[in-house]
Structure 1
């Protein structure tokens, strides 16, 4: 009886060791599956945002004129006009063309730095991308419209709107220097046209909404030529951005330097 007991115990011990070994083999593979799914989902979300960026603006150097009309409750419309020179989504110059009283003011974006040059001030002044430019438009809305580089995207869900399927993404700022700390972004599935965006503060408060409208062919691609930004905090105020006269340009790097700002016209 004693030998039988010892043998039975040995079998249990052997089975326990085999079970532990089997778990050690299987567990890492099981744990890896959610990670792979997450990585795949993140890659898909980033690709969607990159393609939507390419719909909005050319990848290479270009020039575009932007008119911004801001209206409020009972106020007269305020109109500002700008010429934007951009290269590679990381360098841009924004020149005020109207009103005449502000002509000569220039924004310069270099990577993640932003300055404004004013004719009456001898040195450029450092600015934040989130600072208001005019109406509901922040500096970064014109100077840096690069969602793919500024945000970590996550695919939340799909939505059907007017018989079309849209990706709904959550974009989280890579750091606090970005224009908005969080963006909820609707992108049409079939062609990656941007449809709508909601912009949030660091405290997760909705600041404004944006609709991308009036798609027209500019430099070989149908792009939104009208953006409608509405204040989510104070109802009744909106800014309409209208883009036109876009053309590709070979822009030398020297344009995007503080020393060159005075030479631009």
Structure 2
């Protein structure tokens, strides 16, 4: 009888465990530790939502809440490079003439018949489920440090799931979970969290259509995670690329701009 090699039980165990280990490794996201991949993905998704160049777009916000009358606001956005933005209120008529100016992460509101602008927070609610920063600053790539959590399937599509952590206290949300379609970098879904890591609201990016020269989401559905039934639907239209001079993104120019229809 041939003596049994004392190493054989260990080798046998190794051969049995190897397939399971390989299977586990194959299920991990390829770019799970690749910070550069996550940063590039968020930047590409930002470009899907809005152009890098100067542009103008109209937004209608329809807000509903159980037991209350529906509310509608209309805004016009002028933006340049995700750092300079003007948000003009067009409707309702009672609010016409109000405008917000964002430079970097500094935000002011200009009110008719009020000589001095009022400083605002990006996180402050504008209307319904929409915060000031949702319209004035849509720069996830600049405001958050992203980490790729996993690759998943959502509604039959392969998506990358990212965690975005705020890199400054002044940004709109402390944390965002972000679903981005793998095939074309389209944003699909987002969850917004408070500083205490509490889910505040969710967002769905829908109705991709040609807007400003490429396919973009023309409808965003924001739902309150704490008050069931509270919802705002944002409709984007009439986007046009524009050569916007720096002088319009100044406090001195705001009064003149507000008088232009």
Q: Secondary structure at the match of 2:43?
A: helix
Contact 2:161-2:180 at 8 Å conserved across structures: yes
Cα deviation, 1:184-217, whole Å, max 9, x if unaligned, reads 0000000000000000000000000000000000
Q: CA deviation at 1:39?
A: 10
Distance between the aligned counterparts of 2:117 and 2:146, measured in 1?
Answer: 33
Q: Which of 49, 55, 73 is 1:80 aligned to?
A: 73
Residue equivalent to 1:162: 155
Distance between the aligned counterparts of 2:191 and 2:96, measured in 1?
Answer: 31
Contact 2:32-2:148 at 8 Å conserved across structures: no
Q: Which of 96, 104, 116 is 1:103 aligned to?
A: 96
Is residue 43 of structure 1 aligned with residue 36 of structure 2? yes
Q: Which of 102, 127, 131 is 1:134 aligned to?
A: 127
Distance between the aligned counterparts of 1:92 and 1:122, measured in 2?
Answer: 20
Distance between the aligned counterparts of 1:140 and 1:246, measured in 2?
Answer: 19
Is residue 263 of structure 1 aligned with residue 256 of structure 2? yes
TM-score (norm 1): 0.85
Q: CA deviation at 1:121?
A: 1.2
Is residue 176 of structure 1 aligned with residue 187 of structure 2? no
Q: Secondary structure at the match of 1:51?
A: helix
Residue equivalent to 2:191: 198
Residue equivalent to 2:9: none
Residue equivalent to 1:31: none
Q: CA deviation at 1:258?
A: 0.6
Residue equivalent to 1:27: none
Q: CA deviation at 1:40?
A: 6.1
Residue equivalent to 2:208: 215
Runs of 5+ unmatched residues, structure 2:
1-29
Greater shift after overlay, 117-126 or 77-86?
Answer: 117-126
Distance between the aligned counterparts of 1:39 and 1:126, measured in 2?
Answer: 40
Distance between the aligned counterparts of 2:60 and 2:202, measured in 1?
Answer: 18
Distance between the aligned counterparts of 1:168 and 1:118, measured in 2?
Answer: 40
Q: Secondary structure at the match of 1:254?
A: helix
Distance between the aligned counterparts of 2:131 and 2:226, measured in 1?
Answer: 15
Give runs of ≥4 in structure 1 deviating > 3 Å: 37-40
Cα deviation, 1:122-167, whole Å, max 9, x if unaligned, reads 1011100000000000000000010000000000001112321000
Q: CA deviation at 1:220?
A: 1.8
RMSD across aligned C-alpha pairs, in angstroms?
1.3
Is residue 121 of structure 1 aligned with residue 114 of structure 2? yes
Q: CA deviation at 1:74?
A: 2.5
TM-score (norm 2): 0.86
Cα deviation, 1:33-71, whole Å, max 9, x if unaligned, reads xxxx99961100000000000000000000000000000
Cα deviation, 1:110-130, whole Å, max 9, x if unaligned, reads 011000000121101110000
Bigger Rg, which one: 1
